[in-house]
Amino acid sequence: RHAQAGVPFWPAFVMTLAIAAVLGLVTYLVVIRPVERAPEFTVVMVTFGLFYIFNGLSQSLWSAAPKAFPTPFTGGPIHVLGAVVSRPYVGIFAITIVMTAALVALLRGTKLGLGMRATAQNPAAARLVGIHTTRMYAFGWMLAAMVGAVAGMLIANVLSLYSSLMLDILIFAVLGMIMGGMTSPVGAMVGGCSSASSLVSLAPTPSATSCRRLSWWASSCLSCLSVRKGCLASGHRHEYEVLGCVS
């Protein structure tokens, strides 16, 4: 709504990140924290329920009709090695690289990031070494909400803005997470990049083709899971390494 309110894109971008961080924190404290000790499947189902609640609210407030979303990357296309690439795609790629590098630096090079990884991998052991797991979970939800907000603002430039915008992205994100594993940041990025190769052509692709692509990815994930838990998962060895670094 920044265009309707007359706010320039980048100030609206920063404001959206701040709002997303607050919403992430409130969501964790009000909804997730009461069930965080429940089985993981329960927490996953709660998050899916939240997705549909927010999706319904957005339709009630702003309708389900697609809306054009302005891009901050204006200008003509860029020629790269003989290929013509539109400027918005270049901008999205650049922001993604910067954000990914920042996340890797946070998770691997700071005590806060190591604490978040230790809490995610083994909360009980993390508490034993003095990590405040509630704070780690809260910050993790804030960070996840901010990253999701950035992803939504970037992909809205390509797919236009509508209430169920992130549903297709969520499907491919889950598939990428399964392919890459949930204990390795590098694996998660590789799996995400692999699924993104199918996502980039989602808008102009007929639904039948999308279903075929989704079926291909689902069969690949099932084949992968039949061999090991996550193609690029790093196993339990890193769990002890992370706890050792934090302690």
Residue 168: Cβ-neighbour burial (10 angstroms; 0-12, 13-18, 19+)? middle
Q: Is 1 helix (H, G, I), strand (E, B) or coil?
A: coil
Once rounded to an integer, what is the mean pLDDT over residues 219-234?
Answer: 52
Of 37-51, 97-111, 159-173, give the lowest mean pLDDT range: 159-173
- CA–CA gap between residue 202 and residue 159 (Å, rounded): 8
pTM: 0.76
Pick the most confident of 68-82, 147-161, 173-187.
147-161
Residue with tokens 């992430």: 24
* 81, 135, 156, 172 from 78: Cα distances, Å: 10, 44, 21, 28
Of 223, 231, 166, the residue nearest 199 (C-alpha): 166
Measure CA 55 to chain center. Answer: 16
Take residue 132 and report the two structure tokens written for it: 């405040």
